[in-house]
Structure 1
Amino acid sequence: MGTDRLDEVLDAAYDCLTRYGVRRTTMDDIAASMGVSRSAVYQYVRGKDDAFRRLAGRLHEQALRRARDAATADTPYEVRLHGVLAAKLDLVLQLAGDSPHAAELLDARARVFGDICTSFTTELRALLTALFTEAGTAAGVTPARAADICVAQVVGLETAPRPRDLLAPATRALATGLFATDARPDDTP
């Protein structure tokens, strides 16, 4: 299967998703968006559900790649934390900004791709837990608990006004409160 052609199918599926949503999109819509026949689309996906599942997987994997790169970068812990949280927030804001329907790809309860959303959050928590394990956490806070707090914080930012503007100060507050004293930003008392 040609990866370029599969990407075209997924791009067309995303185009249809933003216009019609998952339920209202048909294979004919995806084919029309690509300018090909429906049978041509079936060469790359088994059906509409398969197309949306692969699309959700691609988008979540791209965000995870950015999060992994941030978590392992040779930068201060606060910068790494910000990068991981930004990968999650950017995914949500991109989808919500493109269309209210696109946010359907983030629904962990969705039958077709809910497991992808759940796996994404699990992997994000694992990256954050590893980061807090490496950096050390404040007294009384385990790395896993610190990761859960961070995920909850970024989920809260997803619906806030101007969430990207709030991410940096939220990250600083998290770093100050959750990292061990020697891993905190230089100007933290």
Structure 2
Amino acid sequence: MPSGRLPEVLDAAYECLTRYGVRRTTMDDIASAMGVSRSAVYQYVRGKDDAFRKLAERLHAEALARARQAAAAEDAPGAERIRGVLAVKLGLVRRLSRDSPHAAELLDEKARGFGDVCHGFTGGINGLLTELFAEAGTAAGTDPAEAARICVALVIGLESAPDAERLFDPAVDALLTGLLGVPVSSAARPHHLPLPSPRK
């Protein structure tokens, strides 16, 4: 299956998703958003389920790449690297929620067509955080993998909060102070959540 115009197909699928949601979108909708025939779209995806799976894979892969960049920022202290990884996870959810209530469908780990993609992304975030906590050291009695899961749970809790961006830094400061066993403050280095716009 050729892939030359696949990014355009996925951009069109995202546009349709934000308007109609996964269930109500048709291949005709995706073709119309691209300005091509339905048969032209079939050159790049097997159907709408395949288009949305590939879209979910792209969004999660891009976010995981940003999280890896944050984790690899060697000039930053461990707490800032952890904060950066958590910001990417929250930023993905907030971006999709901002674009459309339907877009959140791409984040459902129980979704039939791409739940494994979402689950894999969360596993990747957990892995990065576990490595960072192992490197930074945790407070007595806290396992790095457990610390990672606690941080992910915090972000999941913030995902639906209307003021998540405002709460993010103080919540992460408090949590990391406890998990790392040293005072952590974002006040000296303000952090902004990455909310990338979809490619057009």
- Give the alignment's TM-score, normalised by structure 1: 0.93
Report the Cα offset of residue 185 of structure 1.
Answer: 3.8
Cα separation, 2, equivalents of 1:36 and 1:178: 53
Map 1:153-172 to 2 at 5 A.
Answer: 153-172=154-173
RMSD (CA atoms): 1.4
Could you say which residue in structure 1 is the equivalent of 2:98?
97
Cα separation, 1, equivalents of 2:18 and 2:25: 10
- Give the alignment's TM-score, normalised by structure 2: 0.88
Q: Secondary structure at the match of 2:117?
A: helix
Contact 1:53 1:113 in 2 (8 A): yes
Report the Cα offset of residue 186 of structure 1.
Answer: 8.3
After superposition, what is the alpha-carbon deviation per residue over 1:79-128, rounded to whole angstroms, capped at 9, x for unaligned?
11111001000100011111111000000111100000010111110110
Identical aligned residues as a percent? 66
- Which segments of 5 or more consecutive residues in structure 2 lack a partner in the other structure? 187-200
Could you say which residue in structure 1 is the equivalent of 2:120?
119
Contact 1:82 1:167 in 2 (8 A): no
Could you say which residue in structure 2 is the equivalent of 1:106?
107
Contact 1:135 1:180 in 2 (8 A): no
Map 1:30-41 to 2 at 5 A.
Answer: 30-41=30-41
Cα separation, 2, equivalents of 1:134 and 1:180: 14
After superposition, what is the alpha-carbon deviation per residue over 1:43-76, rounded to whole angstroms, capped at 9, x for unaligned?
1111101100000000011110111111111201
Once the two structures are overlaid, the 10-residue window that deviates more, 23-32 or 68-77, is 68-77
Could you say which residue in structure 2 is the equivalent of 1:17?
17
Q: Secondary structure at the match of 1:23?
A: helix
Structure 1 consecutive aligned stretches of length 4 or more whose deviation exceeds 4 Å: none
Cα separation, 1, equivalents of 2:64 and 2:126: 11
User: How many corresponding residue pairs?
Assistant: 184
Cα separation, 1, equivalents of 2:132 and 2:56: 26
Cα separation, 2, equivalents of 1:20 and 1:12: 12
Map 1:17-166 to 2 at 5 A.
Answer: 17-74=17-74, 75-166=76-167
Cα separation, 2, equivalents of 1:140 and 1:98: 41
Contact 1:78 1:171 in 2 (8 A): no
Could you say which residue in structure 1 is the equivalent of 2:194?
none
Contact 1:18 1:100 in 2 (8 A): yes
- Which segments of 5 or more consecutive residues in structure 1 lack a partner in the other structure? none
Cα separation, 2, equivalents of 1:42 and 1:62: 24
Give the aligned residue type for 1:16: C
Contact 1:81 1:171 in 2 (8 A): no
